[in-house]
A and B are shown apart, each in its own frame.
Chain A
Amino acid sequence: MTAHVLAASVIPARAQMGATLGFHIVFACFGIAMPAIVLIAHWRGLRRGDAVSLLLARRWSKVMAVLFAVGAVSGTVLSYELGLLWPGLMSVFGPAFGIPFSAEAIWFFVEAIFTAIYLYGWRRLPPWLHWWTGVPLVISGLLGAFSVVAANAWMNQPSGFTLDHGRITHVDPWAVIFNKATPYEVPHMILAAYMVAGFTIAGVYAVGLLRGRRDRYHRLGFIYSFATAAVCAPIQVVFGDFVARAIEAQQPQKFAAMELVSRTHPGVTEWIGGIYWHGHVYFGIGIPDFDSLLVGYSPHKTVIGWDAVPASLRAPLPDLIHLSFDLMIGLGMLLLVLGAWQGWFALFRRRLLMTRWFLLPAALAGLAAITAMEAGWIVTEVGRQPWVVYGYLRTADAVTPSAGVPVMLGVVLVLYAILTAVVIGVPALMARRWRREDPGREPDRASIPGPPPEMADSRERG
């Protein structure tokens, strides 16, 4: 009976968790990947005495600091939420699940410290020493992503603990951190982070270029970020294939939902798009035997369908999982094509492609990358249901019995409204100030009342 009572709060709790994670992950991407992009511009600026690159790095470091602060806040809220919403998860599995999170605290600390040093060290540190203070940001971003995604991988492939009467009695930290899902989830997410950050920043400059700001500042700002993301795209596509096969082997129920495999049989059709309804897939493009071919390199390979387990253990909403999966792959392919298009020009024609036809999709590439990443997380997280710790603990048994969920939901909504305002508002204010400061841009300066640009520095606090 209790199971039914508890299950009542599962949906709101999951919705809240999903919203929080979906929000946080976007900023986490910038925390992971943006330092590398800033350091590339900074390095070129120092190496070649290039003032434009230096100016870009300097301005990006400020945006990076704001995004890092928002990511830090939403991440802290998440760690509160894990305890508040899922006490069944934390109180039982905390001794194992918490280990990778503790390591993350260290990397987060390093990142916070060096973000401050890098951001405020522009004027008074020796230039190359200052560049090196940015390097810990790149490393701690990678290792921090490793720690957190390893925790999620553990939820998908739990290992390294002994459970005795509902209490963990022994933990093997290495087996927890390097569980079976870590080797594919971690690189997949890190590549996604670089694509999200790179394509989003490139999108901002693509819009500027489309509006006729075709100066070197905008071209360089575009190409540093676009190139970083475009290099990751093909690696991600090849790697993603490996990820899908690993999921087929480790979590057949998730895979069945991803590919709409309703019954276990050989020669499974690959559906592109489509909605499952009473045993049939409608509106989809079906390629016979192709799914079996992708999974087992043979058209006769048997793929496990969701009929292999009772309905209560199947992943819910297979249509959502399948369409999210297809959306992720489709957008990933489009981004690959976009990057290759620019790469073709850069390699074989020795110049950058800056036409309107290229810049229009490039302006939307960031949005596409974010959508693809969110869709990927929907596949991972919804596909893991009904488990929160795969095979050990059901989500319905982990949820809080507390009546306080609506209170918290209210607080979280207020918080995220504010954070969204910060994320959009602060960089927008910065960009407005930068355009006004820019000595060569007469019309913008004239249109906004304020002191002349020479006084901009003295107006700054500090």
Chain B
Amino acid sequence: MMAAAPSWEAVTVGTALATSMAAYALFAGADFGGGIWDLAAGSSARGRRARDAIDASVTPVWEGNQVWIVLGLVLLWTGFPSAFAAITIALLVPLAASALGLVLRGVGFAFGHEAIHPAGKRLTGALFATSSLVAPFFLGTAVGAVVTGRIPLSSHGLDNAAWTTPTALVTGGLFVAACAFIGAVYLVGDARRRGHDDLVPYFGRRAILGGLVTGVLAAVNLALLHGSAPYVFRRLTGVALPLMIVSVLAGGAAVALILLRRQWLLRIFGALSVAAVVAAWGLAQYPYLFPTSLGVAEAAAPDTSQLAEIVVIGMAAVLVVPSFAYLYWLQQHGRLKHDSASVQLRRAARAEDRPPAPAAAGRFPRLLTGVIVVVAAIQMVLERRRRHYS
């Protein structure tokens, strides 16, 4: 049975959804990859240079990169509300796990820059790195559950069988490997830009490793899809085949460029290989949101809602894309750095400091007196306790 053809509005919103997923895979994926290589960088002393390079590359941009998934989320929930409800109910466990991964990653990051003791730094670094592995894996299993059409339409609760099929688990692994690949490619470029000549081959080797593992897992996944998602398999090897070929060729070109030690178009090829796979996935699912139980047309909100979403997409194109490009331009030109207030500024601030005017006792409204006495009593008790403990 073929689903009804969806309206152009629904197709536009669906395409924007796939595009924001691709952007998430490219940009946030590179950050996750950085975290994965941080995890694999070895002992504190040995991995220090690599970790510092990863930190400098990821720090200014990771938060903006995370918003791509929020954009995808709101497009899904306004454009295709019933699909959103079905996914969130059935896939509570992997979604919650990936969300927890994202949170812990942010926590590790925030504390990492403030931690003083080496042990604290190691702990927060480990938190950041481990959650970089957890978040893409569980997102991958959720996508695997959608691709294999295992999401029940009238959900009555958690469905842990949906995301633990071999296909879904391999998809999770594939996501991790792809992140590692794209992250390493990105770091090769950054290392060359900063003139860290020893780190160029270091990340280059890792990019090649990541690329090979990604290729192998993608092949395994395709073979599994033959059995678990025949519709998607047929489309991937049919109408979406050119995109698959583009992805393989671009990935191969990126690996070849690293071997040849060329920087030229390296990131473009790396990005193309990931983006083409996401596009192929979207095309292979069409016209279904859940192959083959829920069509885009059935799940779509009324066309006027879709039009409002198209306006939102237009706003994203006008407001977000230039801002995002500006952020990356500044970062790539070394204008964004994590640093604390300079010693000079602090000295100047100190020098400007004049003694305060002698404080005169202010008159206060009588109504407040009672309140303030109580407050003062509490403050005095706190003060005494503070003195006692310090």
Contacts and interface: CB of A to CB of B under 8 A. Distances in A.
Partners in one complex: yes
Interface of A: 50-52, 54-55, 58-59, 66, 68-69, 72-73, 76-77, 79-80, 82-84, 87, 90-96, 98-99, 101-106, 108-110, 112-117, 119-125, 136, 168-173, 210, 214-217, 219, 334, 337, 341, 345, 351, 353-358, 360-361, 363-364, 400-404, 407-408, 411, 414-415, 418-419, 421-422, 425-426, 429-430, 433, 437-440, 450, 453-454, 456-457, 460-462
A233 to B, nearest CB: 15
Contacts of B301: 94-95, 98, 168, 171
Contact of A217 (B66, B343, B353): B353
A407 B337 CA distance: 40
Contacts of A114: 323
A272 B54 CA distance: 59
20 contacts: A51-B345, A69-B63, A76-B99, A98-B81, A99-B305, A106-B316, A113-B327, A116-B61, A125-B330, A168-B302, A169-B302, A171-B304, A173-B307, A173-B308, A215-B353, A357-B372, A404-B92, A408-B92, A439-B346, A461-B113
Interface stretch (B29-37, B100-108, B248-256, B266-274): B100-108
B359 interface: yes
B93 A407 contact: yes
B373 to A, nearest CB: 10
Q: Is the interface of B mostly helix, strand, loop or mixed?
A: helix
Given A91-B81, A355-B361, A99 B63 contact: no
A120 B59 CA distance: 9
Contact of B158 (A216, A407, A430): A407
B305 A110 contact: no
A109 B71 contact: yes
B364 interface: yes
Contact of B96 (A55, A411, A454): A411
B340 interface: yes
A319 to B, nearest CB: 24
Interface of B: 52, 55-56, 59-61, 63-64, 66-67, 70-71, 73-75, 77-79, 81-82, 84-85, 87-89, 92-93, 95-96, 99-100, 102-104, 106-107, 110-116, 155-158, 301-302, 304-305, 307-309, 311-312, 315-316, 319-320, 323-324, 326-327, 330, 334-343, 345-354, 356-357, 359-362, 364-365, 367-368, 371-372, 375-376, 379
Nearest to B324: A113
A361 B362 contact: no
Contacts of B78: 94-95, 98-99, 101-102
B81 A450 contact: no
Contact of B376 (A87, A95, A99, A360): A360
A44 to B, nearest CB: 12
Contact of B339 (A360, A450, A462): A462
Given A52-B353, A121-B336, 6 more contacts: A98-B301, A103-B315, A123-B339, A360-B376, A404-B92, A407-B96
B89 A84 contact: yes
A404 B95 CA distance: 13
A104 B302 CA distance: 20
A418 B104 contact: yes
**Which of A216, A217, A461 has the largest number of chain B CB atoms within 10 A?**
A461
A214 B74 CA distance: 48
A418 B371 contact: no
B103 A418 contact: yes
B77 A124 contact: no
A426 B70 CA distance: 25
A429 B96 CA distance: 29
A108 B70 contact: yes
A415 B302 CA distance: 36
A116 B371 contact: no
A51 B96 contact: no
A84 B92 contact: yes
B343 A415 contact: no
Given A94-B301, A114-B323, A407-B93, A101 B74 contact: yes
Contact of B330 (A77, A79, A83, A117): A117
A278 B64 CA distance: 55
A278 B338 CA distance: 62
A98 B309 CA distance: 9
Given A51-B348, A354-B359, A355-B361, A461 B338 contact: yes
Given A69-B110, A402-B155, A457 B302 contact: no
Contacts of A215: 353, 356
Contact of B327 (A79, A103, A116, A422): A116
B92 A402 contact: yes
Given A76-B70, A80-B95, A105-B74, A121 B330 contact: yes
Closest 8 CB pairs of A and B: A94-B81, A98-B78, A95-B301, A83-B88, A51-B348, A462-B338, A120-B336, A95-B305
B327 A361 contact: no
Contacts of A345: 362
A103 B309 CA distance: 8
A241 B104 CA distance: 43
Contact of B66 (A80, A99, A112, A172): A112
A422 B319 contact: no
Contacts of A219: 356
B336 A79 contact: no
Given A90-B84, A94-B81, A426-B110, A171 B302 contact: yes
Contacts of B95: 80
A457 B67 contact: no
A124 B335 contact: yes
Given A215-B353, A439-B350, A460-B338, A355 B343 contact: no
A223 B201 CA distance: 53
Nearest to B371: A361
Nearest to A104: B74
Contacts of B116: 429, 433, 450
A440 B353 CA distance: 10
B365 A403 contact: no
A112 B63 contact: yes
A110 B60 contact: no
B314 to A, nearest CB: 10
Contacts of B81: 90-95, 98
A306 to B, nearest CB: 33
A462 B156 contact: no
A133 B61 CA distance: 15
Given A91-B85, A407-B92, A96 B59 contact: no
A462 B88 contact: no
B319 A95 contact: no
Contacts of B345: 51, 54-55, 58
B305 A173 contact: yes
B163 to A, nearest CB: 13
Contacts of A414: 100
A101 B64 CA distance: 18
B138 to A, nearest CB: 12
Contacts of B324: 109, 113
